[in-house]
């Protein structure tokens, strides 16, 4: 009798399971007896805790944790991870508490189980927020112990295998989440076996029709091309034998999801994708890998630009291999991967290599450290935003790395496809990104939004007083860059809103013969507390963002007896607009106010003050809320440009648009946008969005345009 069978005799008859027998036999092959006994104890505990519970499929619930443990045992995970897998639902689905698990199985197992558990006992505004917050908690637990995600990935894999019992709507939701989050995480951790299965199961559940069509096409192609596959494999083996190289040649089955992704990425029909043959050659050493590359290139002609050396420059998840695509028989493409046995094991198990191969080598530790570095990078993202924003950042960071670039010192930086110079700057350091003003690619100055390509050397130029541009958010692709820019802009908006709020409050207080600086701080703090705000700055921010009205707050700051000082303070009059208030003062796109225009300010909740022209047609709607209007004026000598729209009626002739644009440029005016609004016979109407300094500058532009013979009429747009 083997060890597993002997300890099963200790279990109550009603709780014995064929699944656990196979699990214990599997564990016995690589764990010492004492650790296997620990797993048996966990099974007994879990079976008792889940007694009477069933899955949607009708099978006893304990079968699920045992199946999860099986998946991890195939990866040769350690005993605490297997124990945590068996117990991973007891906190969530049974009365069992975390301290009870810690007391019986140790603190490490309790932390693992808690890290995987969902946050069912917390009230959230939405299901999306609950999912995002649960995921954030899991990531925090992963930083402390990477084994949390191993249990979660195995849990998700078994849930996907049994997804047929779930209602269709929920099935699609789980499948989408699997493809967007869990399969990319498995890929990032290098666990190819789990990643591939999650992708196939997710694809099948989310798009069953597309899955069936591609599956049918692949089977048909496999049957038609079977003789070619055998011939190519035989040719490769003969070439290796002739060169005296020992290695094995394996045919690679193309995964349906990878075929589907390639079709979408290349916008290519199915027929152009399924005829790609895949082979893997596994040898004994790195030197032999490069020898074999020469052998296969001499056997079949390589396709230009289709060779990738992931041995010299590994992927971010630690994957190593040589990839090449060849012209096979009749010109059909043949994909070949060349790697060592060690690389092949790591390619399949990734981070799990740390637990599989404890032979004194640093290989497994390297993959663990790389994964921990990535998780730490995620945790360094500013977390001031919502859980959904954090989830979005994680999704962005999970896209497969495709671009490898170099720093001026020759260090390799791995970035997502379409990453820009700004993404590169933030990948080096947040301060570098925040202060970057220009970039050089291969010693040539380029715009900061320039996408990077493999092999380029990127140098970032910084300036001490430089700050992030809000427009960067529109083109950066890395989560770190996007999160850092958003964090800066939120901080900037806060400080600007506080300053504007003080100015608005001072203006309102002046009408009551008061000044903010002469009001005791305790009274301001008390007014903030009455409005459920923690600090005076928070009160000023709410006023600046238009969420609290300054006149009403000013009345709360009156002395307790309601009197005002005998010495009146000169009323402040209008709020002076300098054009440098940043994001808390904006200019209405309906009427495009510019300096010297008569203007009014409207307090818009969340946006601060929106400036309109007094002649704006939208004022009729806003007049119904007089308490939200404030008197504003322009400060003299403003040093910035303002947008304005001009309508130009012209006669139709070739080159008229170029002539108009040239005339505008001659007045040192920038054209932001141009559109053809109407075209009727011999005349057309052009709408120009221009940047001018003030009304005088605009008048000069219009005067110049009216002198042109092609111009019939020039008017400034007004809502």
Mean pLDDT over the full length of the chain: 80
pLDDT in tens, 399-428: 555 677 888 887 878 788 889 999 999 989
Domain 642-716 in CATH 3.20.20.140? The answer is no
pLDDT at 230: 80
Mean pLDDT, rounded, for 4-31? 65
Whether 119 shows a pLDDT value over 50: the answer reads no
Sheet containing strand 458-462, edge to edge, reads 444-446, 436-441, 458-462
Lowest mean pLDDT among 133-137, 146-150, 425-429, 479-483: 133-137
Whether 606 shows a pLDDT value over 70: the answer reads no
CATH topology of domain 3-206: Hypothetical protein af1432 (1.10.3210)
pLDDT at 199: 94
Whether 69 shows a pLDDT value over 90: the answer reads yes
Whether 274 shows a pLDDT value over 60: the answer reads no
Asked whether 576 and 586 are in contact (CB, 8 A), the reply is: no
Token pair for residue 298? 């001499």
Token pair for residue 671? 């054209």
- Cα(139)–Cα(116) distance, rounded to whole angstroms? 10
Token pair for residue 229? 């596959």
Asked whether 401 and 415 are in contact (CB, 8 A), the reply is: yes
Share of the chain above pLDDT 90, in %: 27
Q: Which of 41, 59, 92, 649 is catalytic?
A: 92
pLDDT at 496: 77
Whether 571 shows a pLDDT value over 80: the answer reads no
Whether 374 shows a pLDDT value over 80: the answer reads no
Residues counted in the chain: 719
Whether 507 shows a pLDDT value over 60: the answer reads yes
Share of the chain above pLDDT 70, in %: 80
pLDDT at 83: 95
638, with CB counted inside 10 A (0-12, 13-18, 19+), is middle
pLDDT at 420: 93
pLDDT at 359: 39
Whether 625 shows a pLDDT value over 80: the answer reads no
pLDDT at 39: 93
Cα–Cα nearest to 493, from 513, 468, 511: 468
Mean pLDDT is highest, among 136-145, 363-372, 692-701, for 692-701
pLDDT at 365: 56
Mean pLDDT, rounded, for 38-46? 93
Q: Where are the alpha helices (DSSP H) in 545-586?
A: 550-556
pLDDT in tens, 663-674: 998 888 888 888
Whether 555 shows a pLDDT value over 50: the answer reads yes
Pairing of strands 277-283, 333-340: parallel
Pairing of strands 599-604, 670-680: unpaired
Cα–Cα nearest to 451, from 402, 488, 396: 402
Residue 485 — pLDDT band, cuts 50, 70, 90?
confident
pLDDT at 120: 40
CA 194 to chain centre: 22
pLDDT in tens, 434-444: 999 889 998 88
Residue 129 — pLDDT band, cuts 50, 70, 90?
low
CA 375 to chain centre: 14
pLDDT in tens, 335-364: 899 999 888 887 777 766 655 544 344 554
What are the residues facing 281 on neighbouring strands?
249, 338
Mean pLDDT is highest, among 196-200, 272-276, 400-404, for 196-200
Q: What are phi and psi of 385, to 5 degrees?
A: -85, -170
Token pair for residue 142? 């992963």
What is the pTM assigned to this prediction? 0.58
CATH of 212-353, one of 3.30.300.30, 3.30.460.10, 3.40.50.10490, 3.90.226.10: 3.30.460.10
More confident residue, 261 or 570: 261
- Listed by start position, the domains of the chain span 3-206, 212-353, 487-634, 642-716
Mean pLDDT is highest, among 91-105, 118-132, 223-237, 515-529, for 91-105
pLDDT at 368: 58
Residue 517 — pLDDT band, cuts 50, 70, 90?
confident
Active-site residue, 537 included: no
pLDDT at 402: 66
Residue 116 — pLDDT band, cuts 50, 70, 90?
confident
What are the DSSP E strand ranges found in 517-559?
none
Q: Which residues, in sequence order, are CB contacts of 409 under 8 Å at separation 6+?
A: none
Q: How big is the chain by its Cα radius of gyration, in Å? A: 34
pLDDT in tens, 17-26: 547 889 999 9
More confident residue, 155 or 267: 155
pLDDT at 80: 92
Q: Which of 44, 74, 93, 250 is catalytic?
A: 93
Pairing of strands 444-446, 436-441: antiparallel
Long-range contacts of 609-615 (CB under 8 A, 24+ apart): 609/500, 609/504, 609/546, 609/575, 609/581, 609/584, 609/585, 610/586, 611/577, 611/585, 611/586, 611/587, 612/588, 613/588, 613/718, 615/591, 615/718
- Cα(406)–Cα(703) distance, rounded to whole angstroms? 53
307, with CB counted inside 10 A (0-12, 13-18, 19+), is middle
Active-site residue, 92 included: yes
The DSSP line for 254-304 is PPHHHHHHHHHHHT--GGGTTT-EEEEEEES-HHHHHHHHHHHHHHSEEPT
């Amino acid at each position: 009798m083997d060890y597993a069978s002997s300890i099963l005799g200790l279990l109550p008859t009603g709780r014995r399971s064929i699944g656990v027998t196979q699990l214990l036999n599997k564990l016995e092959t690589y764990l010492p007896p004492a650790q296997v006994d620990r797993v048996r104890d966990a099974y007994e505990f879990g079976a008792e805790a889940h007694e009477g519970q069933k899955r949607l499929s009708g099978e006893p619930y304990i079968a699920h944790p045992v199946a999860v443990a099986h998946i991890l045992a195939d990866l040769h995970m350690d005993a605490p991870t297997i124990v945590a897998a068996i117990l991973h639902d007891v906190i969530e689905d049974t009365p069992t508490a975390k301290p009870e698990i810690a007391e019986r199985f140790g603190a490490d197992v309790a932390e693992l189980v808690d890290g995987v558990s969902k946050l069912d006992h917390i009230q959230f505004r939405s299901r999306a927020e609950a999912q995002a917050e649960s995921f954030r908690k899991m990531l925090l637990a992963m930083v402390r112990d990477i084994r949390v995600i191993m249990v979660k990935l195995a849990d998700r894999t078994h849930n996907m295998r049994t997804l047929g019992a779930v209602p269709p709507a929920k099935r699609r939701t789980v499948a989408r989440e699997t493809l967007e989050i869990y399969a990319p995480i498995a890929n990032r951790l290098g666990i190819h076996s789990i990643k591939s299965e999650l992708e196939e199961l997710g694809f099948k559940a989310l798009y069953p029709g597309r899955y069936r069509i591609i599956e049918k096409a692949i089977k048909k192609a496999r049957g038609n091309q079977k003789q070619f596959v055998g011939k190519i494999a035989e040719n490769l083996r003969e070439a290796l034998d002739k060169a005296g190289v020992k290695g094995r040649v394996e045919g690679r089955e193309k995964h349906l999801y990878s075929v589907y992704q390639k079709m979408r990425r290349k916008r290519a029909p199915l027929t152009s994708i399924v005829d790609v043959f895949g082979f893997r050659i596994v040898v004994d050493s790195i030197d032999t890998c490069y020898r074999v590359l020469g052998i296969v290139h001499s056997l079949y002609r390589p396709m230009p630009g289709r060779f990738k050396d992931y041995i010299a420059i590994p992927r971010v998840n630690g994957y190593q291999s040589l990839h090449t695509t060849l012209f096979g028989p009749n010109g059909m493409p043949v994909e070949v991967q060349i790697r060592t046995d060690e690389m092949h094991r790591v390619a399949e198990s990734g981070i799990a290599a740390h637990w599989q191969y404890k032979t004194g080598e640093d290989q497994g530790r390297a993959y663990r450290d790389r994964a921990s570095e990535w998780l730490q990078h995620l945790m360094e993202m500013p977390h001031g935003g919502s859980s959904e924003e954090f989830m979005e950042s994680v999704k962005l960071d999970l896209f497969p790395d495709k671009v490898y670039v170099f720093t001026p010192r020759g260090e390799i930086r791995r970035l997502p496809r379409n990453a820009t110079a700004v993404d590169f700057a933030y990948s080096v350091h947040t301060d570098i990104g925040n202060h970057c003003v220009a970039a050089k690619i291969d010693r040539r100055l380029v715009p900061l939004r320039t996408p990077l390509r493999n092999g380029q050397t990127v140098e970032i130029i910084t300036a001490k007083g430089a700050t992030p541009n809000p427009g960067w958010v529109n083109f950066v692709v890395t989560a770190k860059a996007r999160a850092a820019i958003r964090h800066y802009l939120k901080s900037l908006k806060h400080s600007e809103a506080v300053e504007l709020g003080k100015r608005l409050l001072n203006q309102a207080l002046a009408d009551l013969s008061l000044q903010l600086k002469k009001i005791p701080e305790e009274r301001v703090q008390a007014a903030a507390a009455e409005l459920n705000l923690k600090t005076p700055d928070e009160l000023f921010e709410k006023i600046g963002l238009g969420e609290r009205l300054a006149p009403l707050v000013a009345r709360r700051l009156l002395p307790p007896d309601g009197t005002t000082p005998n010495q009146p303070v000169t009323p402040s009059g209008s709020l002076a607009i300098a054009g440098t208030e940043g994001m808390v003062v904006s200019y209405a796109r309906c009427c495009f106010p510019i300096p010297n225009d008569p203007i009014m300010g409207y307090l818009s909740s969340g946006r601060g003050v929106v400036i309109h022209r007094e002649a704006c047609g939208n004022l009729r709607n806003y007049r119904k809320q007089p308490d939200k209007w404030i008197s504003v004026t322009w400060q003299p000598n403003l040093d910035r440009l303002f947008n304005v729209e001009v309508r130009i009626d012209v006669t139709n002739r070739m080159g008229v648009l170029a002539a108009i644009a040239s005339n505008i440029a001659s007045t040192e005016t920038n054209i932001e946008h141009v559109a053809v609004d109407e075209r009727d016979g011999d005349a057309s109407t052009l709408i120009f969005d221009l940047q001018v300094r003030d009304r005088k500058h605009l008048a000069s532009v219009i005067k110049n345009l009216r002198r042109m013979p092609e111009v019939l009429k020039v008017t400034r747009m007004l809502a």
